[in-house]
Amino acid sequence: MVVALCGSGHVLFTTVLGALVVWLGIETSKWTGNVFPWIAGGALILFGLYYLVRQARGGGHGHHHFGGGHSHGGHSHVAHGDDHGSHDKGGHDHASETKRIDTGHGVLLLEVFGVPPRFRMRTESAAAALPRAAALSLETLRPDGSGQAFSFAERAGYLESLEEIPEPHEFTVSLSLSHGDHAHRHEVRFEEHQHAPSVQPAAIAPASGPRSAGIVKSDRAVVLGLFTLLTFSPCEGFLPVYLSGITYGWTGFVVLSAVLALATIAGMVIFTWLTMSGMERLRLGFLERYESGILGGLILFLGVGIIFFGF
């Protein structure tokens, strides 16, 4: 429900900008006449080329977030720094430390992240290259002498362990990184921090007292923050689509707005549900990695269609 609400704000702001695009296009078409399809089509072709160039330069994701919140262009939503916490919706706040590992070929950042928790590794510098998953091996050794081996898979901008990390998160990590005919071995230690008390739903533990009031306020702040971030991060990639529909007038605008609303909110809700159901293991990172290229190709197709095929 929260995602659907926040997605509605995202759609509404994009629709307002789309209305402005359509109005300017209709007014412009009154004095450009038969030349307007060339103007609109040419603008779409320029948009498409812009996205293709951005894809070629490595900027795969098509959204810019004006609120300064999160960025999808190759980095996961993980904490930066040396000691930050990551939130576990399973009822605990895991105080996950980010370990800085200088491999001699660059600095890697290793942390425990996600629900269920897994190891994630990224580079400290955005310009540095990640090691190949096949060149990386990781083993944990716990105080009781038990150990576990972890293998990694490549995601969009980071490496993630395929195996989940069981509780408690207190162990020594032995990391082996292969380089050609030799390997570097590094050790770091993770310590289990005290868990914050679990936040129970109202049906299980009725809200009462100052602490419950604080939890409610905190939830509202998170929802408001997400709503603000998504609302003022319009879907810039859909504005050229509005431009392509100007020849159909306001009827076309209404139809396109309905498509935008249905696809956006349904997409947000479905993918959030899949993630909460543990389906984040699906390797869909390539869709995000090549989003600008896919979007650029579609917009370029629309531009050529308007000029030469009348749609």
C-alpha closest to that of 124 among 102, 108, 104: 108
Q: Tell me the average pLDDT across 254-274.
A: 90
Would you place residue 183 in the very low, low, confident or very high pLDDT band (cuts 50, 70, 90)?
A: confident
Q: Tell me the average pLDDT across 8-22.
A: 88
Q: Tell me the average pLDDT across 293-298.
A: 81
- Whether the per-residue pLDDT at 117 is higher than 80: the answer is yes
Q: Tell me the average pLDDT across 261-266.
A: 92
pLDDT of residue 160: 93
pLDDT of residue 1: 87
* Amino acid letter for position 78: V
64 compared with 26, residue with greater pLDDT = 26
Tell me, yes or no, if the pTM score tops 0.75: no
Going by DSSP bridges, is the β-strand pair 182-190/152-154 parallel, antiparallel, or unpaired?
Answer: unpaired
pLDDT of residue 258: 93
Q: Tell me the average pLDDT across 264-280.
A: 81
The per-residue pLDDT for range 65-111, each reduced to its tens digit, is 444 333 343 333 333 334 444 444 444 444 457 899 988 778 899 99
The per-residue pLDDT for range 122-166, each reduced to its tens digit, is 998 877 888 889 889 999 999 888 999 999 999 988 999 999 999
92 compared with 12, residue with greater pLDDT = 12
- Whether the per-residue pLDDT at 204 is higher than 70: the answer is no
Residue 21, CB-side half-sphere exposure with 13 Å CA sphere: 25
Strand 159-161: give its sheet, edge to edge. Answer: 99-102, 107-113, 118-123, 159-161, 152-154
User: Which two structure tokens, joined as six digits, stand for 178?
Assistant: 């292969």
- Whether the per-residue pLDDT at 32 is higher than 60: the answer is yes
3-state DSSP assignment of residue 220: helix
Q: Tell me the average pLDDT across 236-261.
A: 83
pLDDT of residue 60: 55
CB 232, CB 60: distance < 8 Å:
no
Q: Using CA atoms, how far apart are residues 178 and 190, in angstroms rounded to an integer?
A: 23
Would you place residue 240 in the very low, low, confident or very high pLDDT band (cuts 50, 70, 90)?
A: confident
Residue 58, CB-side half-sphere exposure with 13 Å CA sphere: 7
Domains of the chain and CATH, by start: 2-64+233-308 (no CATH), 86-190 (2.60.40)
- Whether the per-residue pLDDT at 177 is higher than 50: the answer is yes
Q: What is the percentage of the chain residues whose pLDDT exceeds 70?
A: 72
CB 306, CB 244: distance < 8 Å:
yes
